[in-house]
């Protein structure tokens, strides 16, 4: 499919006043996306686990305008309060998706959104937030064109979400999601994420992700700025190749449930992402001292117990601990005994693999 396939033809029905509500999850990448071209086209393929607890629920209320407006007419409320801070980002998003949802200037839109995780926790809300918003806006197209099929709608939701935040395209459908054109992955595309199309061993079915909030609040370098620094990065082209090699190798790891290789790849990917940040020009570090302490305690614990807990990192200081459900008791005890003290007060989220967005 190409971008053109997402430009709709004339709609059989006219839009009247209505509303749509969706809950979309966050996701955590196993093979990371870091570096992109224009319009959020990724420099390499990536694979993520969909989360279950960290979600955004968004309702879009739409009211047809008497006359098509010259610009988008919208309000945004976070937790019931008007939020003008989000307006520029949402405006950019609406501008990017306008060719694909050409009725957006014909309506006034009120966006009401809430997250299950604290806004200031340092957990990126852009993936779940943009996915939930894309799904709500697409709902208007579905009302105007009730014949659109489900597969097309899922692809289009992911396509639209990508234009808000790249990783958001992996927050629509499936418990493991692939995004990015890759010769070994059938149906893969730079334009949208797809449910992982290969075998996944049952050990991953109930995988858990406990997120340790090491650092709350705004990052010193946004992910947009970080992606940009991959343009003149001395190691970029090798990194993009390596990520695609890892995506290929992951197929066998996920199929066989080889947790030792899984751990090695996931941790290597996390550290490589941060190594790219540390070797950008200008360089920057998003890890905090406690991030490193947690990593070392995980390694010591794993060595001592032979369990399969491993870590991964987003573009921030927080640590995601991934482990199979049958090791939960031991790992959770370890988290409370040794790791909680390295996080802010009570700052952890017990999450697990989830299955994608839901209409409400």
Binding site for ligand PMV (CB under 6 A): 29, 32-34, 46, 124, 126, 165-167, 223, 227, 273, 314-315
Q: Determine the distance from the C-alpha atom of residue 180 to the mean position of all C-alpha atoms in its chain, rounded to a whole number.
A: 14
- Please, which residue, 215 or 302, has the CB nearer to ligand PMV? 215
Q: Please state the closest distance from residue 189 (CB atom) to ligand PMV, in A.
A: 16
List C-alpha distances in Å: 209 to 148, 297, 318, 331.
35, 17, 12, 11
Q: Please state the closest distance from residue 48 (CB atom) to ligand PMV, in A.
A: 6
Q: Please state the closest distance from residue 144 (CB atom) to ligand PMV, in A.
A: 29
- Please, which residue, 156 or 162, has the CB nearer to ligand PMV? 162
- Please, which residue, 36 or 302, has the CB nearer to ligand PMV? 36
- Please, which residue, 112 or 314, has the CB nearer to ligand PMV? 314
**In this structure, what token pair is assigned to residue 226?**
């970080």
- Please, which residue, 32 or 182, has the CB nearer to ligand PMV? 32
Contact between residue 43 and residue 236 where contact means Cβ atoms under 8 Å apart: yes
Q: Please state the closest distance from residue 123 (CB atom) to ligand PMV, in A.
A: 11
- Please, which residue, 111 or 163, has the CB nearer to ligand PMV? 163
Q: Please state the closest distance from residue 179 (CB atom) to ligand PMV, in A.
A: 8
Tally of residues, the chain: 360
- Please, which residue, 34 or 103, has the CB nearer to ligand PMV? 34
Q: Please state the closest distance from residue 169 (CB atom) to ligand PMV, in A.
A: 9
Q: Which of 211, 308, 330 is nearest to 263 (CA)?
A: 308
**Residues 6+ away with beta carbon under 8 Å from 178:** 45, 46, 47, 185, 188, 193, 194, 195, 196, 197, 247
Alpha-carbon distance of 201 to 231, in angstroms, equals 37
**Phi-psi domain of 327 (left: phi exceeds 0; alpha: psi -120 through 50; beta: other):** alpha
Question: 310-313 contacts: CB < 8 A, separation 24 or more?
Answer: 310/262, 310/263, 310/266, 310/267, 311/266, 311/267, 311/270, 312/28, 312/29, 312/30, 312/266, 312/267, 312/269, 312/270, 313/270, 313/271, 313/273, 313/274, 313/287
- Please, which residue, 137 or 161, has the CB nearer to ligand PMV? 161
Q: Please state the closest distance from residue 45 (CB atom) to ligand PMV, in A.
A: 10
Q: Please state the closest distance from residue 170 (CB atom) to ligand PMV, in A.
A: 7
Q: Determine the distance from the C-alpha atom of residue 296 to the mean position of all C-alpha atoms in its chain, rounded to a whole number.
A: 26
Residue 352: beta bridge partners?
208
């Amino acid at each position: 499919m190409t971008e053109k396939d997402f430009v709709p033809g004339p709609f059989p029905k006219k839009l009247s006043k209505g509303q749509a509500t969706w809950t979309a999850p966050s996701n955590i990448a196993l093979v990371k996306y870091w570096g992109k071209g224009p319009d959020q086209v990724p420099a390499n393929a990536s694979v993520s686990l969909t989360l279950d607890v960290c979600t955004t629920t968004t309702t879009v209320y739409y009211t047809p305008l008497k006359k098509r407006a010259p610009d988008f007419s919208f309000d945004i409320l976070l937790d019931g309060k008007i939020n003008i801070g989000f307006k520029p980002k949402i405006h950019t998003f609406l501008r990017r998706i306008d060719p694909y949802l050409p009725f957006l200037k014909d309506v006034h839109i009120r966006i009401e959104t809430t997250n299950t995780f604290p806004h200031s926790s340092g957990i990126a809300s852009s993936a779940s937030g943009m996915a939930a918003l894309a799904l709500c806006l697409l709902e208007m197209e579905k009302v105007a064109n009730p014949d659109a099929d489900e597969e097309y709608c899922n692809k289009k939701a992911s396509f639209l979400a990508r234009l808000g935040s790249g990783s958001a395209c992996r927050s629509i459908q499936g418990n493991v999601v692939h995004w990015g054109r890759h010769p070994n992955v059938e149906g893969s595309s730079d334009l949208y994420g797809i449910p992982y199309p290969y075998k996944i061993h049952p050990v991953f079915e109930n995988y858990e992700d406990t997120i340790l909030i090491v650092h709350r609040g705004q990052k010193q370098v946004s992910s947009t700025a970080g992606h940009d620094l991959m343009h003149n990065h001395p190691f970029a082209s090798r990194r993009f190749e390596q990520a695609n090699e890892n995506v290929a190798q992951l197929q066998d790891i996920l199929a066989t449930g080889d947790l030792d290789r899984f751990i090695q790849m996931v941790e290597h990917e996390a550290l490589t992402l941060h190594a790219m940040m540390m070797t950008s020009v200008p360089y920057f570090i998003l890890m905090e001292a406690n991030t490193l302490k947690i990593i070392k305690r995980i390694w010591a614990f794993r060595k001592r117990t032979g369990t399969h807990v491993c870590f991964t990192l987003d573009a921030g200081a927080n640590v995601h601990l991934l482990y199979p459900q049958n090791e939960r008791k031991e790992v959770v005890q370890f988290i409370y005994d040794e790791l909680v003290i390295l996080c802010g007060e009570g700052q952890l989220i017990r999450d697990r693999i989830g299955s994608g967005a839901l209409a409400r």
